[in-house]
Chains A and B, each alone.
Chain A
Amino acid sequence: MFRIVGEALALDALVLHVSGAEVGGVATFVGIVRVENAGKRVVAVEYHAYPAMAEKVMREIGEELERLFGSLRIAMVHRTGRLSVGEASVVIAVGAAHRREALAAVSHAIERLKHDVPIWKKEFYEDGSEWLEPASVVPRAGINK
């Protein structure tokens, strides 16, 4: 399951989605809107996405995870719209036969998502707002090739 959604994220549903008779462990990552970033007090965050491409790149990341860590069950869901401090922006759940693959895959998944999936964050402060634009991100043409 690889999706961009507009509503609140539910971890339980994703854990269920990646569970199964052959799954011995599920590892999860939940990204949460934090009150402080780079010394500024954050009051809200707006996430925007290019949904068709974001879901496609997430599926490609899923294929990469299985090449690296073997057979997995993967759920990766990112929320868009305006979020308050404390709300979940992204949830990743990976089910594997063994814990080591599940933990490694979920860690790899969030790093790849932050680097490649076309989603953008605008932070709102008490006195204004700002798009976050990491300075040195190199585009990856055809991440599966």
Chain B
Amino acid sequence: MGRDVVRVRVLLFARLRELVGSDAMEFDLMEGATLGELWERLREGFPSVRAFVHPPLMAVNQEYASPDRALTGGDEVAFFPPVSGG
């Protein structure tokens, strides 16, 4: 039996949002795909993101996560630059 396709929501912030020209989008992934794989998908789909040379910070459901984190349907993913509040 094949893996299911799941849909995740992706939020972008700050300079990444400007590079992509959008603040949110949805991606269909194979269940178990990782955060790092999703980032590569984004880079392929939006070549302008390549101007962002460093790996971004990543979060799943409002918690920091590492690129090997497996995603499940309905996850809220966020990619963003190093933070600079204060």
A and B are partners in one complex rather than unrelated chains: yes
Q: Does B78 sit at the interface, judged by CB under 8 A? A: yes
- B84 and A132 form a contact (CB under 8 A): yes
Query: Which of the listed residues A52, A90, A141 has the most CB atoms from chain B within 10 Å of its own CB?
Result: A141
Q: Size band of the B side of the interface?
A: 20 to 34
Residue numbers in B under 8 Å from A118 (CB-CB): 13, 57, 59, 78, 80, 83, 85
In the complex, identify which listed stretch (B2-10, B38-46, B60-68) lies at the interface while the others stay far away.
B60-68
How many Å lie between the Cα of A121 and that of B14 in the bound state? 8
A contact residues, range: 35 or more
- Name B's A-contacting residues (CB within 8 A): 11, 13-15, 57-59, 62-66, 78, 80-86
Give A residues with C-beta under 8 Å from B: 31, 47-50, 52-54, 56-57, 78, 89-90, 110, 113-122, 131-135, 137, 139-143
Residue contacts A-B, CB under 8 angstroms, 11 given:
A50-B78, A50-B80, A53-B62, A53-B63, A57-B62, A113-B86, A117-B85, A118-B80, A137-B82, A139-B64, A143-B64
